Structure 1
Amino acid sequence: MRKASTERHIPDILDCLAQLSNNEVPTPPRLARATLDILPAEVWGKPDYVWLDPVCKSGIFLREIAVRLLEGLSDQIPNFDMRREHIYREMLWGTATTEMTGMISRRSLYYSRDASGAASVIRFGSADGNLPFIRSNHTRPKQKNRTADGSCSICGAPLELERGEGRENYAYSFIHGTYPTEEMRRMKFDVIVGNPPYQIGTEGSNRDRPLYQYFVDQAIALNPRYIAMITPSRWFAGGLGLAEFRNDRLNDRRMRMLVDYPRLYDAFPGVKIRGGVSYFLWEREYNGPCRVQTMWNGNPIGEPVERCLNEWDVLVRRNEAVGILRKVQGAGGASLASKVSSRLPFGFQTNVHGASTPTGLKNPVEFYGSRRQSWMARSDIKVNAAAVPMHKVLMHRAYGEDGEPPYKVTAYPTLVGPQTACSGTYLVVGAFPTAEEAGNLDAYLRTRFVRFLIQLRMNTQDIKSDTFTFVPDLPMDRMWTDADLYERFGLTEEEIAFIESQVKEMPAHDPVEPLA
């Protein structure tokens, strides 16, 4: 009979820390350690390096750095007390995102929220130690350059967040010019690490504005030797206002490594971050391809692959997909994106509906809107009028799904006949004079092959015309099947198996029958 273990499991209190707000997600200790693992091993033996976490929420990064430096510097500074004093006083710096996270972070790093007290691991001259919360203010735009919604000119936050000294305003000091402080201006940081706030609500909009790119850009502007940061992965292929940031990162040959967690809840258990998260290593003296590694259920999928991130205008996140896309692109030809409508195919918003019946309408047009069909007069349609009398294939503009692959990727395409139009709930993917051509496009969009190529450009639920950029614009004078497409582009059995592991089969329907 096996003897029962008498060892007690002592949980890490930072594993139990709940999400602090909608835009601040504490870093699980396991993820913080994994992020630090991608730094070169020699950094832990450098007593002259200065470390900075400019976005402290729990203090986990600085705590884990301290643990590693205490071991790594044992040869250079053999006396433990002197080594600890040097590390905490001279090497570790940070600033908190809020007053509360400052107290939590100091408790994690110094064992006391009061760094000047007797309980602190070393005693500083102030309660903040090297880890203060610096209050900042959002920047009101000058009138001539005023943003459309009157929001902060730096981060885009609504100025109504300025609610007095006693309330948090989320004007983070690292990106609002107050940290490093004036007294620290001559300091040179060697390593910058952290998990910045991801987003902030914007006035008059139901869409949150991403913030993390400003922290990455500011970290790079300080020109350290290394940067290791966690961010959402939405920047790979989308995200509100992230086009410039994406272009900069894809073309930055100092990006040394990128580790991607596409699976929901994998990196942050219990926190829904659609599109997943990733962390990267930026190295000032490096100039070359980036090593890309995908993680799934906490484990790496295959070996990391070195590749140039700017091969396409978006980052293809799975290494297994790169060879498939190269074959498709190498075949040449136009992209289906050129045939896909704008966000509002006929100029109508998503909440627009017509009359419940065609009675009394001159030249009635059947109108496809959100959750129902209605009727409009032909004369009411001013945008894209030439498409009204044609056979069309519609695609829902928003489609999201959770869970494990294989994924559906898109909603079912919808075939509609002549004298039809739609609201912005849909995109028009193609318009044809014949029902047969429209039916063939419908079948084409249902193939795993096409939806796989769409998936490569999707990190959110939004589908736009450029989501179809990787999809070849093949002639619709025949019905395409997956077998035809695999053969046309010379895919191997391994490549086919990967596509089919990622994308569900979608049932076809009669290519000539319009759907109501």
Structure 2
Amino acid sequence: MKDVIFDEQKQTEKSSYNPDVLSCLANLSNDEVFTPPEVANAMLDMLPQEIFSDKNAKFFDPACKSGVFLREIAKRLLVGLEKEIPDLQERVTHIFKKQLFAIAITELTSLLSRRSVYCSKDASGKYSVTEFENPEGNIFYKPAKHLWINGKCLHCGASQKEYGEEQRQGLETHAYQFIHNAIPGELENMKFDVIIGNPPYQLSTGGSKAQSVPIYDKFVFQAIKLKPRYLTMIIPARWYAGGMGLDKFRKEMLSKNRLKTLVDFPNAEECFPGIQLRGGCCYFLWEKDYSGKCHYTNIIDNSKNISYRNLSDYEIFIRYNQSTNIIEKIKDKTSENLCDLVSSVSPFGFGTSERGDTNKFDGCYSLYTSQGIFYIKKNKIKTNISLADSYKVMITRPISGNMEIPPFKVIALIKTLRPREVCTHTYLTIGSFKKEINTHNLEKYLNTRFLRFLLVQSLSGLDISKEKFRFVPLQDFTSSSDIDWTKSIPEIDTQLYKKYELSEEEIKFIESMIRPME
């Protein structure tokens, strides 16, 4: 009898280290991350456990890679259905044929999944835990095709230059069946109780990794269309603040109040050892018939902070539970934020590669770039001519360092620009003043831990942008301000803490999250 494969307690005493092959596979890729068994089980723990005693319940993984979800579900069903179906082989046959279904994302992962779930890559073979009529069993895979319209796939947004048939000869096309209207006929009209998975995360646009477009949201939307009772997936957490086409997804996730549980890892390595995923990751339980607060857990350095949250309180999702009270205190005192003073991306119309002359000349403007200062004519400035002739503060647009493990720096460079000084797309500008002293006061404000902490609450990607300052209260940068800008940065922080009536515990949290600027 093949029941030995389901009993992980029956290991030989000769082996001192016997790692699960699925744990080893978990760090093979950064785009299509394999799920460790312990993470799969943590996700299954969120479901009502009586579902594993229901012989009619159907489970579906639409992005199967290693088969870990089906395998761990099978273990639970084998226990839960023991009384109703006492015969082991009968129980095994019922579970694998009637309850577990999947679509693999590639031909290779379909073979791997069948080997993991059925103990045989050929589900109809004699070594399979139960013999199917066909080699694929209930783990389906069939190559799908992109539908190109104006160089982009209508279904997933992939670039034809990157994923077209001519470019992908002999390679995977990444046209995933589940989101390309290619669901197998056997599954098309099936009603699933649970949809579970770890979908592919992104597709390259043909440029660098930073230019990749998210794709996991399309798997979640497609799963919701199938109207399961429960949906649980593990995905990147960058959707919290939207952007990159994720605004619609963020609104759907936050406003409908169907997220019953959300578990967040700012440092993805705490969930996927060996994987670096900017912005961290999360897994969730969506319930079709649920409407209410979300049981939210934020995990940092194995320390859990738990709260029940109304996810629709803000336009974006506030990641740290301790931050919500601080933001509310600030909103009670100040209604205006700093967004109105922040420039749009590429404030003067110069790309990151723009360069000018290396030597000054009469009437030139200084151009700040990532490679130093160059000099240009005024007629080269494409936008914001008046801003070019005023005092303003320049900050680097890319986030400084990682945003996974505090304390954070957040802003790499903060510098006052004088009239006739401009910058490339590498930077943003903040403010437009006639007096230099106002700019210096703003520069001090940007250096405070207080401001950079509030900026962090909106960050989930790689860059700082105008809307990320939504929680940063606007201050009076003149000499008549209620803040004494002549003081040192730490003293200004102290004034800001007092102004917004922050508690000692809240101040301690801010200063644990944000390190001083050099």
What is the TM-score when the length of structure 1 is the normalising length? 0.92
Q: Report matched runs for 1:106-185 at 5 Å.
A: 106-141=114-149, 146=150, 150-159=151-160, 160-163=163-166, 167-179=171-183, 181-185=184-188
The Cα of 1:13 is off from its aligned counterpart by: 1.1
1:315 counterpart letter in structure 2: F
The Cα of 1:431 is off from its aligned counterpart by: 2.1
The Cα of 1:118 is off from its aligned counterpart by: 0.7
SS in 1 for 2:89: helix
1:493 matched to 2:501:
no
Name the CA distance, whole Å, in 2 between partners of 1:19 and 1:320. 31
Alignment correspondent of 1:319: 321
* Residues 261-319 of structure 1, C-alpha deviations (whole Å, 9 max, x = no match): 1014111111111000000000011111111101123x3423x2111112111101111
Alignment correspondent of 1:376: 376
Q: Report matched runs for 1:322-471 at 5 Å.
A: 322-359=324-361, 361=362, 363-402=363-402, 404-471=405-472
1:243 matched to 2:254:
no
**Equivalent residue for 2:515, pick from 484, 504, 507:** 504
The Cα of 1:416 is off from its aligned counterpart by: 2.0
1:399 counterpart letter in structure 2: I
Number of corresponding residues: 491
SS in 2 for 1:218: helix
Deviates more, 1:94-103 or 1:342-351: 342-351
The Cα of 1:120 is off from its aligned counterpart by: 0.4
Name the CA distance, whole Å, in 2 between partners of 1:400 and 1:47. 52
Runs of 4+ in structure 1 over 6 Å off: none
Query: Is contact 2:262–2:297 with CA below 8 Å preserved after alignment?
Result: yes
Deviates more, 1:30-39 or 1:211-220: 30-39
1:307 matched to 2:309:
yes
SS in 2 for 1:265: helix
Query: Is contact 2:453–2:514 with CA below 8 Å preserved after alignment?
Result: yes
Name stretches of at least 5 consecutive residues in structure 2 with no aligned partner.
1-12, 479-483
Name the CA distance, whole Å, in 1 between partners of 2:182 and 2:380. 54
Name the CA distance, whole Å, in 2 between partners of 1:483 and 1:246. 35
Residues 106 and 7 (structure 1), Cα distance of their counterparts in 2 relative to 1, 3 Å cut: closer
Name the CA distance, whole Å, in 1 between partners of 2:410 and 2:358. 32
SS in 1 for 2:126: coil
SS in 1 for 2:495: helix
2:339 counterpart letter in structure 1: A
Q: Report matched runs for 1:186-201 at 5 Å.
A: 186-201=189-204
The Cα of 1:383 is off from its aligned counterpart by: 1.4
Query: Is contact 2:27–2:273 with CA below 8 Å preserved after alignment?
Result: no
Name the CA distance, whole Å, in 2 between partners of 1:420 and 1:414. 11
Name the CA distance, whole Å, in 2 between partners of 1:395 and 1:471. 15
**Equivalent residue for 1:9, pick from 11, 17, 25:** 17
The Cα of 1:390 is off from its aligned counterpart by: 1.8
Query: Is contact 1:293–1:300 with CA below 8 Å preserved after alignment?
Result: no
Deviates more, 1:424-433 or 1:440-449: 424-433
What is the TM-score when the length of structure 2 is the normalising length? 0.91
Query: Is contact 2:227–2:288 with CA below 8 Å preserved after alignment?
Result: yes
2:504 counterpart letter in structure 1: E
SS in 1 for 2:430: strand
Deviates more, 1:304-313 or 1:274-283: 304-313
Alignment correspondent of 1:284: 288
Name the CA distance, whole Å, in 2 between partners of 1:139 and 1:388. 45
RMSD: 1.8
Alignment correspondent of 1:514: none
Alignment correspondent of 1:510: none
SS in 1 for 2:368: strand
SS in 2 for 1:316: coil
* Residues 172-191 of structure 1, C-alpha deviations (whole Å, 9 max, x = no match): 11111111x22333211110
1:457 counterpart letter in structure 2: S
Query: Is contact 1:137–1:162 with CA below 8 Å preserved after alignment?
Result: no
Alignment correspondent of 1:94: 102
Percent identical residues: 41
1:49 matched to 2:53:
no
Name the CA distance, whole Å, in 1 between partners of 2:236 and 2:141. 24
1:191 counterpart letter in structure 2: V
Query: Is contact 1:226–1:283 with CA below 8 Å preserved after alignment?
Result: yes
Name the CA distance, whole Å, in 1 between partners of 2:287 and 2:352. 45
**Equivalent residue for 2:45, pick from 25, 37, 57:** 37
The Cα of 1:23 is off from its aligned counterpart by: 2.3
